[in-house]
Amino acid sequence: MSTAMELYDEATKLKGAGKLDEAVGKLQESLALDPTHVLTHSALGVILQRLGRLDEAIAHATKVCELEPKDPFSFTQLSVICQRCGKIPEAEAAMAQAHALQGGHGH
């Protein structure tokens, strides 16, 4: 049986081949094995946003922030996904959190 990381790796290859829907399927299998697999949530955020499944994309990017609350990159990715989904206030809030975690001033 595959591990969450193996399924993530398979999904990454599918994404690279342009098979986004198939990649999403593998990533969902990965989460079924390990619902806290951060890389899987991160990848789903990016791929689902590309597919126009915006609410799902934001939900996965938000989950990354919940799982890695001290990682500025988590909030940066959430900000980018929110911005691409047209949710500017949410994007700005996430970027401010990223800056705060980096010791910046959140301009």
Return the pLDDT at 14: 98
Give the CA distances from residue 6 to residues 19, 20, 44, 99, in Å, rounded to whole numbers and listed in that order.
17, 17, 15, 33
CATH for 4-101 is: 1.25.40.10
Nearest to 43 by CA among 69, 66, 14: 14
Q: What confidence score (pLDDT) does residue 103 get?
A: 86
Q: What is the pTM of this model?
A: 0.91
The tens digit of pLDDT for each residue in 18-46 reads 999 999 999 999 999 999 999 999 999 99
Segment 52-93, tens digit of pLDDT: 999 999 999 999 999 999 999 999 999 999 999 999 999 999
pLDDT at 107 over 70: no
Q: What would the two tokens of residue 102 be?
A: 């980096």
Q: Tell me the C-alpha distance between 61 and 82, whole Å.
A: 9
